[in-house]
Amino acid sequence: MNEIMELKKDSLITLKIETLAYGGRGIGKWEGIVTFVPHTVPGDTVQARITKNKGNYIEAELVEVVTPSPVRVTPPCKVFGPCGGCVWQCLPYETQLAYKEELSRSVVEHLARQHEFTHHPIIPSPVIWRYRNKMDYTFGADENGRPILGFHKKGSFTEVIDIETCHLQPEIFDRLLREMRSFAQEKSLVPYNPVTHKGLLRHFVLRCATNTPAGEPMPILAALLTGAPELPCRDELLERLRRTCPSLKGFIHGLNVGLGDVMRMNKLLFKWGNDFLEERVCDLELCISAFSFFQTNTKAAELLYEKTREFLSLTGQETLLDAYCGTGSIGLLCARQTAQMFGIEVMREAIWDARYNARHNGLSNCIFLCGEMRKCLGLVRERLPLGVQRMVVDPPRNGLDKKSLRQIIELNAPLLVYVSCNPTTMARDAAVISEAGYRITDIQPLDMFPHTYHFEMVGRFEKIGFTTETQRTQRINIRS
């Protein structure tokens, strides 16, 4: 143990990887101490350099795969590793699914301390490459100060990796990305520096609608965010983007003056064409604007929404609350099977989309509120003296804040469905929900993000004592 405690940063160790952790890192043991090594797969024997020695565990970076695992495959991406986005590209897709399925079960059992539930087999993504419908890029500078365009280097908010091709995005995005970079370099435009807060080019955003009729090109939206309002040769840029992508439906130039490296538009400076796309999802036609939240994998999102609707067990008599509703996808999909539907979302653009989508799909029983969750939940309680009978929550990656979680529990809905892109925060919240008188009946993992460690989980919670007779009584109360 003394030898282990004396191990210093940058010391080299050799170990065999045994399993994977949520977060994508391989787990092995060196001298009996749990060791985390990224970009490794179970069965690898690796040499690693220690980055942190915590005494009871070690964090290290991969130096060399001494003996590769039999399951290891060669990642197709040229920047695999430094990019840090698709850390499981070195695993066959079937193996990725197996680990995600096991992780979904283990986080609920160990973190939420729940064991009496049905754990369904993971639903795979219908498409495993080129599946993303939205990409956010950041401008940076190369060693000569010329603008480059791509993704942040793993673990850094100042370094950017220049991207030529990303295998998760449509091929047309590759071409648009290259055209945008070429324009910036030819015009000698200065990339924004997140340390000095000087420079022009900040972010480039691409979004597409994927459920198009066979043989038709995907409609595309493009948005450029700059740190100053003046953009030289903007008309030329638009012409070049349109020539590269004839199916470009809209282009936005916006101002971002925030000091943080957050992709937001403080002011619209220029717009050509549409600032939204129309996408078909299940039996809905949705309007999705450039910066609104919508699931990035459309085909998998349809499966997610259908499973959520199934778990809600709707009869047509209930009032449904859709918390963190985004553009309203889940609530709108369920609206025809409810008496009334309320949606809550903090992003104004998303609420505008949701309200339009309700009108466009002929849904008159939907009300969407814009504001912080903790404030809007109070308004819902005031407007609904009989409460809500069904609730779906789909919070951000960090889960529910304590006050909102308490208010959600106090609404006392007989049935709650929790949709999450972060199993650990869902499990944390599930423990609180269960302690408040709910029981988890079902957990459904679904892979929305192939080749990454991320996946979606849908959890179904029933209020203890909720029965079909309870439900029948509630229907009578609602009708009266």
Residue 105: phi, psi to the nearest 5? -70, -45
If you classify domain 134-280 with CATH, what class do you get? mainly beta
| Residue 111: other Cβ atoms inside 10 A | 17
Domain spans, the chain: 2-72, 96-126+297-479, 134-280
Find tokens 């509703």 and name the residue: 325
From the candidates 287, 366, 376, 421, give the one annotated as an active-site residue. 421
C-alpha distances in Å from residue 95, one per residue of 99, 122, 443: 6, 12, 20
Is the fold of 2-72 the same as that of 134-280?
Answer: yes
Burial 233-246 (b: 16+ CB within 10 A, else e): ebeebbebbeebbe
Quick check: is 366 catalytic? no
* 2-72 carries CATH number 2.40.50.140: yes
Residue 388: phi, psi to the nearest 5? -110, 145
- Three-class SS of residue 119? strand
CATH topology of domain 96-126+297-479: Rossmann fold (3.40.50)
Structural tokens at position 289: 């604007």
Can you give the pTM of this predicted structure?
0.91
Taking the chain (480 residues) in runs of 10, the rounded mean pLDDT of each run is 66 95 92 94 96 92 96 93 89 96 95 94 98 97 95 90 96 98 98 95 98 91 97 97 98 95 92 96 93 93 98 96 95 97 94 96 97 91 89 96 94 97 96 96 98 97 76 46
pLDDT of residue 6: 64
